[in-house]
Amino acid sequence: MDTIRSPKDFSRALSEKLLELLWGQWSILGIASYGRKPALLIDLEALILATEAAGNADQRLMASSRQWLMSFREWINLSRLKRMSRGFILGDPLIKTPLIQKTKWEGLLDDLDSKQLEDSEKSALINKRNDSVVTPPQLKKPSLGQLYLRGVFGVNARAEIYLYLSLEAKGNSTRIAREIHYDQRNVYRILERWTEAGLVVRESRLKENLYSLAPNQRFRELGAGVFPYWHWNDFFLLFARISAASSIPPWAEDAYLFSSLCRDLYPLASIVASSAKMSFPDPDLHVGQEYFEPFAQALLAVLDRFGE
Amino acid sequence: MIGRENIDLIFSALDRQIGANGGRALSLVVCGGTALAALDLVSRTTRDVDILGRCLGGKISKMRVFPPWLARAAEKVGRDFQLPQGWLNLGPESQLDTGLPRGLSRRLKKRIYGKYLTILFVDRKDQIFFKLYAALDRDGYHETDLFRLQPLESELFSASRWVLTQDISEEFKEILMSFLKKHGYDTIAERL
């Protein structure tokens, strides 16, 4: 493993790997590209946010993803996207800058809101160049479980609730709503309906109701890939913060301040890594800026693993 | 722990954290073990940095509490360098109420740690004053520090005179004289 000498060195390596992961996920959705196609489930809204945050580093990725979004807008849950965008467009509490420029973001939302394309327009958009880069998503691909469920339930909270229950086994409505980025009352109503219908089992434990899928109600095995993972919002938020900090002052020029930021992000990074049975170096074993290199190496290893 | 080998590293980190936390430039007057180590007067480690006050236009004044940006910056540095909670503290500030040795501010040793932080270390002579006062109050490392500073008789006499301005009771004078005699400074004790 090469030594990472400075945040600037790290920024280059990180950007390369992050873009590779984003390209991989977009390629599964239908954008033509080379490189690895990751096997993990994709969260479309999280991917859009991560692409907007990282896209300035790769204009071709930005253009291709925009073309896909305009062509297949019907798969996007706009209200969920807006809800999830808060962590990206508000000034980040640690690096004190938005991870996505608000005006740029609002421009995209306006486009997505207004451009309900007719089929003919969509075909024209897809085929506007001979080397068309986007094709419709193939819902049977294991990584596209979310879109598959949207195909079944419609583009609403039901797809993500079902996905959550498939991957996490059980949870109460508040936790489920928080993790899938929907309104708690809406999630609660759906869970109660599903309980009445027998799709879901409700178990009362102390003061909370825990919901899980009823036996034999899994109509497709979800959780493709080397390990079950679907918390892409946390994942991309972590990497967007690290990526932004590694390229702007004062962190980009200061390995100590960057390592201090790494310590701030250690709890979130640990949660992300533990999903893949990985771990981050213990900050207590490294004093001052000594934490920078082991943490940076661990971040790159995590990116590799999640891109498998 | 804070020692000669990492003092500059820690203050430099604090300077950068002040910047990252939206702080402003300031000068802090530091006494105690950190100043002794920084000025290479006594080689020992310490757990904290004692702030006597802030210095503005040559005048030392109380801070009472740290501004939020400095508290945040200190918290980060404490975490990053595994220092105890309260490692940067205003413990000795009350000394400003009872009075400082004359000329202390002129003797301060200045070190600039970056764009934001300047540290003014209390000079050896004033450390002798403070250490004598502390040694009378508490046993232990203050007494050791005092004699590691190898004070001249004239310095110890000046320090004794100053110490008597801090507590004017007869009992305190007795304690001082007994301390001086215990360490072989009978002549100073007799002159007081």
Residue pLDDT, tens place only, A175-205: 999 999 999 999 999 999 999 999 999 999 8
B165: its two tokens: 């301005």
Preferred mutation among B80, B82, B87, B115 to probe A, highest tally of A CBs within 10 A: B80
> Can you tell me the distance from the alpha carbon of B141 to that of B147, in angstroms, rounded to the nearest whole number?
10
Chain B: residue whose CA lies nearest to A289: B80
Q: Which of B18, B13, B47, B15 is nearest to B32 (CA)?
A: B47
Largest CA distance in chain A: 61
Classify residue B98 as left (phi > 0), alpha (psi -120 to 50) or beta: alpha
Average pLDDT over residues A153-163: 95
From B20's Cα to the closest Cα of chain A, the distance in A is 7
Interface probe, candidates A251, A254, A256, A291, chain B, greatest B C-beta count within 10 A: A256
The closest of A111, A87, A90 to A102, measured between CA atoms, is: A90
What is the total residue count of chain B?
Answer: 192
| Pair type for strands B49-56 and B88-89 | parallel
The ipTM assigned to this model is 0.88
User: Which residues, numbered 34 to 53 in chain A, qualify as contacts with chain B under a Cβ-Cβ cut-off of 8 Å?
Assistant: none
Q: Rounded to whole angstroms, what are the CA distances from A133 to A60, A66, A88, B17?
A: 10, 11, 27, 46
> Whole-model pTM above 0.90?
no
- What tokens does B67 get? 């501004």
Amino acid residing at B108: L
Please, which residues 244-263 of chain A have a Cβ atom closer than 8 Å to chain B? 250, 254, 256-257, 259-260, 263
Q: Give DSSP secondary structure letters for B92-130.
A: GGGHHHH-PPTTHHHHPEEEE-SSSEEEEEPPHHHHHHH
Across the A:B interface, residue pairs with CB atoms under 8 Å apart total 29
Say if residues B90 and B63 touch (Cβ distance below 8 Å). yes
Share of chain A above pLDDT 90, in %: 68
Residue A43 has a pLDDT of 96
pLDDT tens digits for range A97-109: 899 998 989 999 9
C-alpha span between A270 and A277 (Å, rounded)? 10
Q: How confident is the model at residue A207 (pLDDT cuts 50, 70, 90)?
A: confident
What pLDDT was estimated at residue A76? Answer: 96
Beta-bridge mates of residue A210:
A203
Nearest to B15 by CA among B102, B109, B129, B117: B117
Q: Give how far A268 is from chain B: nearest CA, Å.
A: 17
Does A299 have pLDDT greater than 70? yes
In this prediction, residue A218 carries a pLDDT of: 72
Best to test chain B binding among A253, A287, A290 (most B CBs inside 10 Å): A287
Residue with tokens 């001082």: B176
Other CB atoms within 10 Å distance of the CB of residue A181: 21
Predicted local confidence at residue A229, as pLDDT? 81
Are A260 and B81 an interchain contact pair (Cβ–Cβ within 8 Å)? no
Q: Do A291 and B80 touch (CB under 8 A)?
A: yes
Q: Give backbone dihedrals phi and psi of B117, rounded to 5 degrees, phi first.
A: -110, 125
Put simply, the answer to whether A288 touches B19 (Cβ < 8 Å) is no
> Which secondary structure element, helix H or strand E, spans residue B62, and what is its range?
none
Q: Return d(Cα B172, Cα A25) in angstroms, integer.
A: 78
How many C-alpha atoms does B123 have within 13 Å on its Cβ side? 14
Q: Give the mean pLDDT of B126-145.
A: 90
Q: Which residues of A touch B117 (CB under 8 A)?
A: none
pLDDT at A272: 93
What is the per-residue pLDDT across A231-274, written as a single tens digit (0 to 9) for each? 899 999 999 999 999 989 999 999 999 999 999 999 999 999 99
Let me know how long chain A is: 308
The pLDDT confidence band at residue A118, using thresholds 50, 70 and 90, is low
Residue A113 parent element (H or E): helix A102-114
* Closest chain A residue to B83, measured at CA: A287
Q: Do B80 and A288 touch (CB under 8 A)?
A: yes
